[in-house]
Amino acid sequence: MGKMGALSPGSYLSNLPPIPTAPTQTDTPYLDGTGSAQVTRRSFWHQGYGYIFILEAGTLDEVYNSTSDGTNYTKPSTGNPVATSAEGFDDGSFDVLYDGISVYVIMANGAGKQARIKRGTMKGGVITWGSWVTVASAAASDTSLDHVSLSKTADGYFWVGYSVLNTGAGTWNIYCVKSANPNSVDSWSTPQVISALTTNYDRNCAVLPLSATSVYIVYYSKYPAGAPTTARLFGRTFDGSTVGSEEPISTMNIVGFAYSWSTWAAVSDGAYNICVAYQQNASPWTIWLRRRVAGTWDGQLATPITPSPSWWNSISLTGTNTTKIYIFYKEEVSEPYYNFYYRTWDTAGGFSSAVELATNEENSYIMQVCSNYRLQTGTFIGVWFRTNTPPLATRVVIVSGLS
């Protein structure tokens, strides 16, 4: 796996470029945040080089950097930027998938009402991209297409989940679409409505492999005030033609507001169990974990953490090729400074002890949800955030493990 295969888990100061200034609260998140960003599916190792995708300060373009040692990063001139605002790139809707051979990026062209994808080939720390391909388009009467999620099943087919908002009709629907052919993103089948809801409140989704030929779509629904539930998670199976019945996932309201997609995460483990972590919208601000086994949801397995007063705890998950998963989270020290941790969970040993990744570091307002693809051999888990020691713009990259 090249030089990086010998790198021990831990903190490594890097020369990654500065990150953007924190935005004011908005319904459109910055993809990788301004302080922390759990980036598991946006970092991978391929033939001796690590690649990591970030949102660049100033331009707010999505770019990639590469490294041969996990510490020193360069921004190649070839293949950068990956996506720009000039292309209609919505910085809140971007996903990356590495399948062991190629890398794929999908972007939502928000107000342009399209989801687009392209394939990249890697060599010597450089990515060469193919052309953008339109995966799906919203209707002319719709307002926007957002919140894309990308997966690939073992049969070679790609799957994309996304949401479509129509403020005039008062709807925010979840869709999923399957590639027309295996191992190709050049053409796509007809999108299928997974869940329709009459509300202009936020909805987003994660598309997860459920078997070699099907997926499970986890989706968040923030209902209008006064509805029976105000912010909960649900899921449905989808095999490319048939959509399964809706399954309630969260047993209580989860934290729901403009940045709500940060307070839940979902992943498919090595046995195709769907694991979902979420934060309840009540004190203490506890994170719970549920697991779907053979079509049935377990109860709340345990409490991964009971953080010190922290009303919003960004969460992210990563799976492995076994039933082990990684749970990443932060704990408030004194806003805007947080400690960063991870725990693992598996069927044999339950939750591990917390591993502290960093102490008293500057907070991000966003931690992207949907780390929904299992680690490939040679893939590393990378976490970056702004340090609380000079120079503030220096990134810290955490290599938490190699699979």
Q: What percent of the chain lies above the pLDDT cut of 90?
A: 32
Residue 88 sits in a domain whose CATH number is: 2.120.10.70
Q: Looking at 126-140, 207-221, 276-290, which range is the least confident one? A: 276-290
Three-class DSSP category at 8: coil
Q: Supply angle C-alpha 230, 176, 327, rounded to 5.
A: 60
- Please determine, for residue 27, whether its predicted confidence score (pLDDT) is greater than 50: no
Handedness of CA 142, 243, 100, 70 (dihedral sign): positive
pLDDT band at 17 (very low <50, low <70, confident <90, very high): low
Over residues 250-260, mean pLDDT:
65
Mean pLDDT of the chain: 77
Range 63-75 average pLDDT: 81
Q: What Rg do the C-alpha atoms of the chain give, in angstroms?
A: 19
Q: Which has the closest alpha carbon to 313: 266, 357, 366, 356?
A: 366
pTM: 0.88
Least confident of 6-10, 51-55, 176-180, 289-293: 6-10
Residue 128 confidence class, pLDDT cut points 50, 70, 90:
very high
Number of domains in the chain: 1
Cα angle 134-139-145, degrees, rounded to a multiple of 5: 60
Q: What is the pLDDT of residues 353-394, one digit of tens each?
A: 887 777 776 655 434 433 445 555 455 566 555 555 544 444
| Least trusted range by pLDDT, from 35-49, 103-117, 164-178, 327-341 | 35-49
Sheet holding 144-152, edge to edge: 144-152, 158-166, 171-178, 192-195
Least confident window among 28-37, 125-134, 297-306: 28-37
Residue 50 has what pLDDT? 82
Instruction: Give the pLDDT confidence of 147-202 residue by residue, as tens digits.
Output: 888 999 999 999 999 999 998 888 889 999 999 999 999 999 999 999 998 876 77
Q: Is 312 helix (H, G, I), strand (E, B) or coil?
A: coil
The mean pLDDT value for 66-84 works out to 86
Residue 98 has pLDDT above 80, yes or no: yes
> Which one of 60-64, 91-95, 210-214, 218-222 scores highest in mean pLDDT?
210-214
264, 278 Cβ separation under 8 angstroms: yes
Give the 3-state secondary structure of residue 249. Answer: coil
- First and final CA of the chain: distance in angstroms? 11
pLDDT at residue 270, as a whole number: 87
Token readout for 45 is 């190792």
pLDDT digits (tens, 9 = 90+) for 208-236: 999 999 999 999 887 665 555 577 889 99
Burial class (CB in 10 A: 0-12, 13-18, 19+), 24: exposed
Q: When comparing pLDDT for 11 and 288, which is higher?
A: 288
Angstrom CA distances, 2 to 69, 195, 232, 301, stand at: 9, 44, 43, 38
- Report the percentage of the chain scoring pLDDT > 70: 69
pLDDT at 101 over 80: yes
For residues 351 and 302, what is the distance between their CA atoms, to the nearest angstrom? 8
Containing domain of residue 76, as a range? 3-402
Please give the pLDDT value at position 239: 98
d(CA 247, CA 272): 17
Of 25-29, 151-155, 399-403, the least confident:
25-29
